Amino acid sequence: MIETRGLRKSFRARKGTVEAVRGVDLTVQAGEIFGFLGPNGAGKTTTLRMLATLIVPDGGDATIAGADLRRSPGEVRRRIGYVAQGGSTWDTVTAREELVLQARLYGIGKAQARQRAVKAIEGFQLGEFADRKCQTYSGGQRRRVDIALGIIHSPQVVFLDEPTTGLDPQSRAHLWDEVRRLRAEGMTVFLTTHYLEEADALCDRVAIIDYGQLVAEGTPDALKREVAGDVVTVGLNGAAPRAAQLLDGQPYVRQLEPIDQGLRLYVDAGATAIPHILRTLDGAGLSLGSIELHRPSLDDVFLTKTGRSLREE
Amino acid sequence: MKLLRDIWLIFQRQMTLVLRNPVWVIVGIIQPLYYLLLFAPLLKKALTQAGAHTDADVYRLFVPGILVMLAIFGTFFVGFALIAELRAGVIERSRVTPVSRLALLLGRSLRDVVSLLVQCLIITLLSIPFGLKARLGDMLLAYLLLGLIALMLSALSYGIALKLRSEDALAPLLNTVGQPILLLSGILLPLALAPGWLQGIARWNPFSWAVDAARALFDGHPGDASVWKALIILGVLTIASVTWTARSFARSIR
Ligand SMILES: Nc1ncnc2c1ncn2[C@@H]1O[C@H](COP(=O)(O)OP(=O)(O)OP(=O)(O)O)[C@@H](O)[C@H]1O
Ligand SMILES: [Mg+2]
């Protein structure tokens, strides 16, 4: 449904150029929820804006819903919906008025635009506030209106830029349901997020982007399986550097990453590694704050690929 | 036809926004009154030197000047509203739709032209009791001129706003450009009163042509050379500024 090859974009900033996206190759299948995961400034929004025809790529090509991004951006526009990271409504008009206008901007006739607005208001449960001015909406309500606007013309693909950022857990869960409903209706959803749980729970497949380049792509399960083995987190008030020296190079430790107040160790099997770890630390007289064993998460995927944690921000 | 439909959609929405904002509506009506009631008496004395002897003479010189001034200052600052819209994300939301990019500009500019012409109409009607007389045909021509000024400057203002994208940069720039245009247009006083070198500079100001043309029209001389010259000059400038800004709308906007 979406295919990109070598997509790149740099911006001229005051201090030299920023290479926001440095060659992205992606394939998104029809009917899936595809997650684009990455830290702040990784190039998620820039990639989305290129795919949504808002900015012209410096290099590379893309086909979206069968239309060529460079040769027929107008055709791409008709087939996609895009919901920006910030808001998208005027303050002094109502959601219903916005929905009707947006449908009409897509070339839909007046009567049908009204019908579509009614349907969207039902579908996204906007009825309670749809005839109030947009400036009175809560964050979650606003976000639902934004998404309703993005899909008012029933596009084949919809791009959602950080649809749940800043929402409370309840509104987030509500929005996840809306996104799943879009998939059930046959839409392909391409969303960005920097919430690991969101990528994990909501997305069929994810791509992880860092500094404008993909570092991993696959289903959340496959990505986690790639990390393999188990993760042991040890809390070590202040003794972490010394412990790292001791543990690095031990046969049962595959990889080792310092974290806040401790270490994270990637091991083949937690049950056999933990006694070794304890013995090594104890032998050196290091006191242990805590020890924890868990299955790898997407954060571990990110950490093993980049050496940094997504959670640290 | 798609273009006309798109312009109409954008225009309608922009008009709704204006009418829902009571402050704008009130200011829009009070502003012309204030020009008319406070400025006119002030200028009466000065204008007698320029050959105005009766009240009707004063208004015939003064009203066209005020209308051109309103056309300049009522539309030159519309870019601010666009920056607010950029920030709200509504421009980006329109730009992902297949809506005509020219319509994104013209729908907005048309709103500016219509609001201006309503204000001009208020001033014209209110000046009639003071002795202003003019033929309908001449008036329509004068309004065409005013509409062109408004269209050109609002497009220019939007174009600059798209380039700068910040109110902090826009305000000083518009002021710096706007002030000399106003001072050298002979609006407040006819340039006939100015020293020669100033008249020389003013000849390069398209708006001084517009003011001369508007005065000729209000004086009942549609055949005056200043009229067709002003229409051509402003027509060309309008096409240039609309083209420039429409291209900015089509290109990337943050
Ligand atoms: N118009 C622009 N001009 C200059 N630099 C830009 C522009 N747009 C983006 N950038 C830079 O490009 C890089 C990528 O930005 P982008 O918005 O794509 O990141 P992101 O992954 O969406 O981040 P976030 O999670 O914070 O939304 C950043 O360093 C950003 O500062
Ligand atoms: Mg972003």
Binding pocket residue ranges, ligand 1, CB within 6 Å:
A 11, 13, 18, 20, 38, 40-46, 85, 194; B 254
- Specify the 3-state DSSP secondary structure of A247: helix
- Beta strands (DSSP E) in A29-58 are 33-37
In total, how many domains does chain B have? 1
Tokens of A50: 């290129």
Average pLDDT over residues A277-281: 82
Q: Is it the case that residue A313 has pLDDT exceeding 50? A: no
The Cα–Cα gap between A78 and A80 comes to: 6
Q: Give me the residues of chain B with pLDDT under 70, please.
A: 45-52, 188-191, 252-254
- Please report, in angstroms and rounded to a whole number, the separation of the first and last CA atoms in chain B: 29
Residue A258 neighbours by CB distance under 10 Å = 15
Task: List the domain range (segments joined by +) for residue B238.
Answer: 2-252
Q: Which of the pair, B131 or A186, is modelled with greater confidence?
A: A186
Q: How far is CA B118 from its chain centroid?
A: 12
The Cα–Cα gap between B131 and A111 comes to: 50
The Cα–Cα gap between A206 and A199 comes to: 7
pLDDT at A312: 53
Q: Which helix (H) or strand (E) holds A70?
A: none
The Cα–Cα gap between B164 and B82 comes to: 11
Q: Percentage of chain B surpassing pLDDT 90?
A: 40
Q: Is it the case that residue A18 has pLDDT exceeding 90? A: no
Strand A253-259 versus strand A262-267 pairing type: antiparallel
Q: Which helix (H) or strand (E) holds A115?
A: helix A110-123
- Chain B residues whose C-beta is within 8 A of a chain A C-beta are 2, 6, 9, 13, 16-17, 20-21, 85, 87-90, 92-99, 252-253
Q: Is the dihedral of CA A164, A170, A176, A177 positive or negative?
A: negative
- Specify the 3-state DSSP secondary structure of A1: coil
The Cα–Cα gap between B94 and B8 comes to: 14
Q: Percentage of chain A surpassing pLDDT 70?
A: 98
C-beta atoms of B98 and A92 within 8 A: no
DSSP state of A136: G
Q: Which residue has the tokens 């998939």?
A: A183
pLDDT digits (tens, 9 = 90+) for A119-166: 999 999 999 999 999 999 988 899 999 999 999 999 999 999 999 888
Please tell me which residue of chain A has the smallest CA distance to B13.
A101
